[in-house]
Amino acid sequence: MTSPALPALPDWRAVADGALEATVVGSFTKLGLSARRAMGPWEDLDAVSLAERTVLITGATSGLGLAAAHRIARMGASLRIVGRNPEKTIAARDALRVESGNPDVEHYIADLADLAQVRDLAAAVLVRERRLDALVHNAGALLATRTFSPQGHELSYASMVLGPALLTDLLLPLLTETAAPDADPSRPARVILVSSGGMYTQRLDVDDPESEHGYRGSVAYAKAKRAQVVLAEEWGERWRDRGIVVHAMHPGWAATPGVHASLPTFEKVMGPLLRSADEGADTIVWLVASDEPAASTGRFWHDRKPRSPYHVPRTRETPGDRERLEANVDAAIAPFRLPSVG
């Protein structure tokens, strides 16, 4: 008589990774990334070529965006960077060309918080580019005082929710055209939203998304990042049949100019445990380049693994909340859609 088969034991790496994730500090700092690399397997992105792929990154003149841009340029992509400041953006473009040895790096100027500039940016991209394999939304703002976009929207919400929503909407034809001729399922067009671990602290706020009541910069930032994660899930489902995958990610706690300017106390306390910008950008680059994330859509990633977007039950939104978010975003961006997009 044979004994019943015992259930398979969970892989030790998955157990160790889950335990690390539960600690938060251990997961989000450079310790977490080092541990996960050591546990393996860890894909060598230096062996991956992005030749013949076009990648556009917003907020690419400093911090995570610039770090991702350097890596992607070295991998041979046709790289397009977006920045607000012309001098700074052109300097970043020139440095990327020289340091990567890749001459195919171009730039666009736009403030993602200004929907009129986003519309003009998309129009320029549609004229100049023949394909768009990956769109990385990295631009953002964390401000001490409540500040407004030219259209009257709170700036964090405008730059990290409305701007990305409009730009993605306007570039859908190019993303779809890029994906459609390619029968290889590992090569869909990709939309990546760079979120933050801070979003774990906030529930989706559809009653006060622009922080009209009791403004705190860090809370407004986290609320916008939560909205990004929800939108990634919704867009992933909406555009699945177009050959487009959508993912959100968070980079952990990284030492960037944004953190230095906006969260000096946090930077001082965490000190040497903060990740470098290159370490924080690792999963951005992996989501752009690897085959694995191309096989799914609408997920939330950290250190190359899909993660739950909820650490505590109170932050879960309802289906009605999701519908209201999409309706509110669509209403805000509708006046800026290009006539040909409709």
Residues 6+ apart with CB under 8 A from 327: none
Predicted pLDDT at 340: 56
Higher pLDDT: 255 or 284? It is 284
Q: Which long-range contacts (CB under 8 A, 24 or more apart) does 200-205 make?
A: 200/309, 200/310, 200/311, 200/312, 200/315, 201/315, 202/226, 202/315, 203/314, 203/315, 203/316, 203/317, 204/230, 204/315, 204/317, 204/321, 204/322, 204/325
State which fold the 45-336 domain adopts: Rossmann fold (3.40.50)
pLDDT exceeds 90 at position 11: no
Q: Tens digit of pLDDT for each residue in 174-228? A: 999 999 766 566 689 999 999 999 999 999 999 999 999 999 999 999 999 999 9
Q: Cα dihedral angle (225, 138, 66, 81), rounded to 10 degrees?
A: -170
Using CB atoms within 10 Å of the CB of residue 269, give its burial: 0 to 12 exposed, 13 to 18 middle, 19+ buried.
exposed
Amino acid at 292: E
Report the pLDDT value the prediction gives residue 6, as an integer from 0 to 100.
58
How do beta strands 244-249 and 134-137 pair? unpaired
* Residue 183, pLDDT score: 55
For residue 7, name the pLDDT band (cuts at 50, 70, 90).
low
Please pick, among 108, 157, 200, 221, the residue that the annotation labels catalytic.
221
More confident residue, 1 or 12: 12
CB 300 within 8 A of CB 232: yes
pLDDT of residue 263: 75
Can you give the residue ranges of every domain in the chain? 45-336
Stretch 24-38: mean pLDDT, rounded? 94
Nearest to 194, CA basis, from 217, 163, 219: 163
> When comparing pLDDT for 4 and 287, which is higher?
287
Write the pLDDT tens digit of every residue in 121-171: 999 999 999 999 999 999 998 999 999 999 999 999 999 999 999 999 999
pLDDT for 256: 79
Mean pLDDT of the chain, nearest integer:
93
Q: pLDDT: is 189 or 9 the higher one?
A: 189
* pLDDT of 100 strictly over 90: yes
| Between residues 330 and 3, the one the model is more confident about | 330
pLDDT at 261 > cutoff 80: no
For residues 42-58, average pLDDT: 96
Give the pairing type, strands 299-302 and 78-83.
unpaired
| The pair of three-digit structure tokens given for residue 190, joined into one six-digit string | 């990709």
Report pLDDT digits (tens) over 111-125.
Answer: 999 999 999 999 999
Q: Which helix (H) or strand (E) holds 81?
A: strand 78-83
Residue 221 is a catalytic residue: yes
Partnered with residue 305 across adjacent β-strands are 302
Q: What is the pLDDT of residue 342?
A: 40
| In the predicted structure, residue 258 carries a pLDDT above the cut 80 | no
Q: For residue 140, report the phi and psi dihedrals to the nearest 5 degrees.
A: -170, 175
What is the model's pTM? 0.94
**pLDDT for position 5:** 64
